[in-house]
Amino acid sequence: MKYKPVKDRCCLNKKCLDQRKFGEGNIIRHSMYKTRLGRRRRYLCKTCKKTFCSTKGTPYYRLQKSRLDFDEVVQMTVEGVRISSISRIKCFSWNTIASWQYLACQAAGEFNNQNLKDLELIELQADEICTFTGTKKKLIWIFVAIEVWSRIWISKVVGSRNYRNIKTLLNQVIDSCRIVNPFIFTTDGFEPYSWATRNLMSSICLYAQVIKKRRKNRVINVERRLIIGTKSKMEQLLFESEDFSTINTSFIERLNLTIRQGCAYLGRRTAYHSRSKDLLADKLSLQMCYYNFVRPHSALKFGGEIRTPAMQAGLVKKQLSFREIFTSMEILFWWVFIFLRTRVRVEKFAWFST
């Protein structure tokens, strides 16, 4: 019996000549095998004569529990539940949850890298969130940028509050966006923003700062400064804008709140915090993927349909699920290498348990 070639699979054998090539006609269905959770498919690569299972190359590979459990753990992670709570809710060990989170974060980061491209930039806002890693003395900042029209979270940088990190953030924005017309860019009054904007985007944007003066934790005065561009051009762009009529940073501040609520590391006055910069950056990649592709945004409601920011930006046509993201072809290549690294890493950080 002759089997039809499978187009949506590729061979991940390092020694194979058709390694990582889709649609070459070398992959066919081989057989079925039994697991505790049901029957699974095996595939055969005709080039290297090796077989592999259907989850190879995804975070679900060699998972001892069901894929549904994995998805639930990831969902709880992005809704701001800490590891020890998830461990008690699901009755899995702390290390299992940590290793699953690591796999999910890596997959989400890769999915972001592959998919957050070619966005149309209309209105940009940037800001930073202050937190700490290890001890409260080690302050660390999370720089974020949002495209206001589609509400898409374009980029994030974790590090100290300096010019270099702001430059990295703006470079990420320029790399992932398509700039057709001059756009409005707004930040707070932190001076390195204006230096970086002058260096990188002075010809393509109108840059303004919003400076809030506070007394006893209340805003008493808001000053709006136009740094790059003319007043008439700014007024014209504000008139054309669908989202706001004055210079503001409300949208990025709202995103900051969403990030704080969704990431357990960033909760205020809690015992739970990140122990390292890399762990925090990984969690934020997962958060970013969830915010852009999975979570419907209540400001993007059109009749009965509530869109995700990625739908509004035209990157995808429907709301994605974690299952679709983790089994997508874009991230398939990575997985073989990452799985091997995970065990070492989780053992190393096992003392994190709180």
Residues that bind Zn ion (CB under 5 A): 11, 13, 16, 45, 47-48
CB of 333: closest distance to Zn ion in angstroms?
14
Kindly tell me which of 8 and 79 has the beta carbon lying closer to Zn ion: 8
Kindly tell me which of 52 and 334 has the beta carbon lying closer to Zn ion: 52
CB of 13: closest distance to Zn ion in angstroms?
5
Tokens of residue 207, six digits = 């840059």
Kindly tell me which of 19 and 66 has the beta carbon lying closer to Zn ion: 19
Residue 7, classified by CB atoms within 10 Å of its CB into exposed (0-12), middle (13-18) or buried (19+), is exposed
Alpha-carbon span 306 to 186, nearest angstrom: 27
CB of 331: closest distance to Zn ion in angstroms?
19
Q: What angle do CA 30, 33, 36 make, to 5 degrees?
A: 155
Q: What is the DSSP string of 43-61?
A: EEETTT--EEETTTTSTTT
CB of 65: closest distance to Zn ion in angstroms?
29
Q: What is the DSSP string of 274-318?
A: -SSHHHHHHHHHHHHHIIIIISPPTTSEETTEE--HHHHTTS-SS
CB of 11: closest distance to Zn ion in angstroms?
3
Kindly tell me which of 42 and 345 has the beta carbon lying closer to Zn ion: 42
Alpha-carbon span 75 to 287, nearest angstrom: 10
Kindly tell me which of 45 and 280 has the beta carbon lying closer to Zn ion: 45
Kindly tell me which of 56 and 82 has the beta carbon lying closer to Zn ion: 56
CB of 17: closest distance to Zn ion in angstroms?
7
Kindly tell me which of 8 and 118 has the beta carbon lying closer to Zn ion: 8
CB of 56: closest distance to Zn ion in angstroms?
12
Q: Which parts of the chain fold into alpha helices (H)?
A: 67-78, 83-90, 94-115, 163-176, 191-200, 231-240, 250-262, 277-289, 309-312, 322-326, 335-348
Residue 328, classified by CB atoms within 10 Å of its CB into exposed (0-12), middle (13-18) or buried (19+), is middle
Spatial CA neighbour of 80 closest among 220, 250, 228, 261: 261
